[in-house]
Amino acid sequence: MGRRKGGFRRGTRYKLQKSSRDKGKLSMTRFFQSFNEGEKVLLTAEPAYQKGMYFPRYHGVVGVVNGKQGSCYNVAIKDHDKEKIIVIHPVHLKKMQ
């Protein structure tokens, strides 16, 4: 059986690309933001910070915060008909209104 070429960020040239307005240092407010349990969040990856990043397939998906695990959050998302729980750093999350 053949071996897969490439790793975690394979095929994400445009998906994990920042706009010219967002380039530069990381926002500390986004880095240290906090969420409550049951809050809806949008998964938007911060390509400059790889720790606690989710698999790029779930980019743009809306999830619900289930709890906290260390400095990261447990987020429940729906992948077709299956519910999955992903551990994500807050820098990769955005609050939904």
In the chain, domain spans: 47-95
Superfamily (CATH H level) for 47-95: Ribosomal protein L21 (2.30.30.70)
Q: Which residue positions in the chain have pLDDT lower than 50?
A: none
Looking at the chain, how many residues does it have? 97
- Running DSSP on this structure, what letter comes out for residue 93? E
3-class DSSP state of 46: coil
Q: Are 65 and 41 in contact (CB under 8 A)?
A: yes
**CA separation, residue 73 to residues 20, 49, 92 (Å):** 28, 16, 10
Determine if residue 53 is left, alpha or beta; phi over 0 gives left, psi from -120 to 50 gives alpha, anything else beta: beta
Q: For 50-74, how does the pLDDT look when each residue is reduced to its tens digit (9 = 90+)?
A: 999 999 999 999 999 999 999 999 9
